[in-house]
Amino acid sequence: GAGVSQSPRYKVAKRGQDVALRCDPISGHVSLFWYQQALGQGPEFLTYFQNEAQLDKSGLPSDRFFAERPEGSVSTLKIQRTQQEDSAVYLCASSPTRWGEKLFFGSGTQLSVL
Amino acid sequence: SQQGEEDPQALSIQEGENATMNCSYKTSINNLQWYRQNSGRGLVHLILIRSNEREKHSGRLRVTLDTSKKSSSLLITASRAADTASYFCATQGAQKLVFGQGTRLTINP
């Protein structure tokens, strides 16, 4: 079946703009994770959903970051009033288990804030 | 914040040689996982080892876990050019998976 799909693949935003990044997880996967990956670094945890419930958002850098998964499937990561330091690759991953053992990653959205 | 630290940060070997990467972590874990990332792509799960396991094999991969030293190693035997990638260890406690900084592996033909 299809893997995790993320869109757009690339996004260029002017500083101050709002952006919305979409993640389509593998059908039936319970858990969904968002990570932020800076160039040459490992992925940094942002937030985690189990079905539609956001169980952990401790990694969101500021209140400009907001994530939702209203029907327990597709998820959207929204960044308001983007700043240059928000430039990174945003990775989405899903897992068939409640606790996220073995994550399946999408190819990511590369966000560049100018 | 990163939990795991990989060593070395970069490794370059000849095709056919074995590659060993190490990972150290700080807090107690339920399991430790290794992932591979090719340039510009998402991460791919390689292997999971639980906290009560000491060694696990999958094809050319061998993973060890020493919970007393809070460390793990990934061995890739008989390396191939296609193994060129970044390798990340990730530790899982209660829920979230926390990744290290990664080892950049280059296999020279």
Q: Do A44 and B43 make contact, defined as CB atoms within 8 angstroms?
A: no
Distance separating alpha carbons of residues B47 and A50, to the nearest angstrom? 23
**Radius of gyration of chain A measured on its C-alpha atoms:** 13
Q: Does the beta carbon of A25 lie under 8 angstroms from any beta carbon of chain B? A: no
Tell me what the mean pLDDT of segment B71-98 comes to. 93
Q: Which residues of B touch A95 (CB under 8 A)?
A: none
| Interface contact B95-A48, CB threshold 8 A | yes
- Mean pLDDT calculated for residue range A83-95: 97
pLDDT at A1 over 90: no
**Hey, what's the torsion of the CAs at B92, B98, B102, B107, to 10 degrees?**
40
The answer, for A65 touching chain B at a CB cutoff of 8 Å, is no
- Give A105's contacts in chain B (Cβ within 8 Å): 35, 42-44
Torsion A43-B25-A51-A101 (CA) sign: positive
Q: pLDDT exceeding 90 applies to what percent of chain A?
A: 92
Please check whether residue B72 is in contact with residue B54, taking contact to mean a CB–CB distance below 8 angstroms: no
Going by DSSP bridges, is the β-strand pair A31-37/A88-95 parallel, antiparallel, or unpaired?
Answer: antiparallel
A67 contacts in chain B (CB < 8 Å): none
Overall average pLDDT of the B23-36 stretch: 94
Has residue A98 got a pLDDT over 90? no
C-alpha B14 chain-centroid distance: 19
Query: A44 at the B interface (CB within 8 A)?
Result: yes
**Higher-confidence position of B18 and B7:** B18
Residue B60 has pLDDT above 70, yes or no: yes
Residues in chain B: 109
CA distance B64 to B79: 18
Instruction: Quickly state the pLDDT bin for B53 (edges 50, 70, 90).
Output: very high
Nearest-CB residue to A48 (from B31, B96, B100): B96
Nearest of A44, A39, A43, A49 to residue A94 by alpha carbon:
A49
Inter-chain touch B95–A102, beta carbons under 8 Å: no
Checking if the pLDDT of B100 tops 80, the result is: yes
Bond from prior residue into A8 cis (ω within 30 degrees of 0):
yes
Confidence of residue A100 (pLDDT cuts 50, 70, 90): confident
Q: Which pLDDT score, from 0 to 100, does residue A26 have?
A: 97
User: In the beta sheet, which residues pair with residue A93?
Assistant: A33, A105
Residue A96: half-sphere exposure toward Cβ, Cα within 13 Å: 3
β pairing state of B55-58 and B61-66: antiparallel
Taking an 8 Å cut-off on Cβ atoms, the answer to whether A102 and B45 are in contact is yes
Contact A52/B at CB under 8 A: no
How many other C-beta atoms are found inside a 10 Å radius of the C-beta of residue A100?
22
A107: nearest CB among B2, B41, B99: B41
pLDDT exceeds 70 at position B78: yes
